[in-house]
Amino acid sequence: MDLAELIGLRPVPCGGLLVALTRRCPMSCAHCSTTSSMATSEEPDRRQLLDFIGSFGVEDRPDVVMLTGGEPLLLPELAARVAGLAQAKGSRVALLSGMFFAREGRVPDRIMRTITALDHFSASLDVHHEREVPRADVLRALRAVLDAGVPASIHLTGTARGAGAGIGADADDPYLVDVVADVRRAFGARMPLLVNEVRPLGRAAGLVRPTPPGPDDSLAAPCALAAWPVVAFDGTVAACCNQWTVDRRPVPPHLRLGHIAEDDWPTVRERSLGSPVLRMLRAVGPRRLHTRYESEPAPAGYCRSCHALADRPSVLEGAARDAGGRVGEVLDRLTTAQQRAAGPAALVRRMGCARYAHLVELRSGEESVPTNEPRLTQASPTAEERSSR
């Protein structure tokens, strides 16, 4: 499974399931959105999680299960067991790791056994991770993953550019230019990258500020984050993967889909697909809902305006009226079809770092991989990169 296919499924309601295996992490990155460390121990109950994954049906299961954390490979046996259960029902499984194990460029056998059980493996890379695991070691470990026949990708995050930075602020970040060039030297065009920017969440809350609403902020802006259910660290199932939602207790009622202790996948899926307000969020976004159904202005911020819907009964009533029943089902399908037709790069241009969005469509593989080791020198932009500015 390539990164482009994974990102292409992101707007599909219940096309995927995100699972936070643990909040623990042996790294202490300054920008961590989950505020993870080895001092934290929050994670779903293992038996409840396995039962929930086991409730998938061959005809009723997510296309992909994405294992995240914290650091999911602190629990390699559990990750492999979840993968096996999901794959037995037809789901594919991907995992995102901070690469704590990759020092000296090798992958321990215990970790490699889990990685080879996956359909896709992604490595996080940014200036904060590099302070603990050198970039060259990460790239050598990824070479080993590709040699083992597992499709791989890099989730690359730019550096904060100071107060007031927001979406798009890192487009000309020299760190991104340098890393992309290094990856190209090491893997040619055979290593896809998802490039994003630091968000003001978790430990990064003091690094950057959210982008203020623009003049067109009330126009339709579909929310792909409300498509895949998320199993949070305490077993709560949320409708949105924004970390602010995943960590907030109680979860706003319109964004809570259940709990793995008492609900199975078919129940969670039915609630997500059948919710009129989630259908409308996926179709036009929260700020458009405020404009359409509410006389009071929406709170500043895209996600904040979504959370505020819990206190706006007129919006919830309007969504139920306009997106209930067959009309809502058709609306969901049309919105999904439009976003999928636009392709994965279009989604990243809207939600990630637009300049590098095309890199998600590279195909992972070991053919035509250069034999030279990755260099860590400052690189000049390629002609393609210069023309994209």
Per-residue pLDDT tens for 194-220? Answer: 998 766 555 545 555 555 544 445 567
| Residue 371 belongs to some domain of the structure | yes
| Residue 215 belongs to some domain of the structure | yes
Q: 198: which 2 tokens? A: 């630091």
CB 59 within 8 A of CB 226: no
| Residue 246 belongs to some domain of the structure | no
Alpha helical stretches, state H, the chain: 3-8, 46-54, 76-88, 109-115, 127-130, 135-147, 174-187, 243-247, 265-274, 276-284, 286-293, 302-307, 313-323, 325-342, 344-351, 383-387
Listed residue (101, 108, 93, 91) closest to 123, CA to CA: 101
- The pLDDT of 256-275, averaged and rounded, is 98
Per-residue pLDDT of 234-249, as tens digits, reads: 999 999 998 888 999 9
Q: Domain containing 363: what range?
A: 3-219+343-387
Per-residue pLDDT of 86-110, as tens digits, reads: 999 999 999 999 999 998 888 999 9
Query: What is the model's pTM?
Result: 0.87
pLDDT score of 368: 42
| Residue 334 belongs to some domain of the structure | no
Q: 148: which 2 tokens? A: 């083992």
pLDDT score of 359: 96
| Residue 26 belongs to some domain of the structure | yes
* Distant-in-sequence, close-in-space partners of 216: CB < 8 Å, separation ≥ 6: none
CATH number of residue 143's parent domain:
3.80.30.10
Query: Could you tell me the pLDDT band of residue 386, with boundaries at 50, 70 and 90?
Result: very low
pLDDT score of 211: 55
| Mean pLDDT (the chain, rounded) | 85
| Residue 324 belongs to some domain of the structure | no
- Number of domains the chain is built from: 1
CB 119 within 8 A of CB 90: no
Query: Could you tell me the pLDDT band of residue 333, with boundaries at 50, 70 and 90?
Result: very high
pLDDT score of 382: 37
pLDDT score of 39: 77
| Residue 321 belongs to some domain of the structure | no
- The pLDDT of 41-59, averaged and rounded, is 95
Q: Would you say residue 77 has pLDDT above 90?
A: yes
pLDDT score of 35: 66
| Residue 78 belongs to some domain of the structure | yes
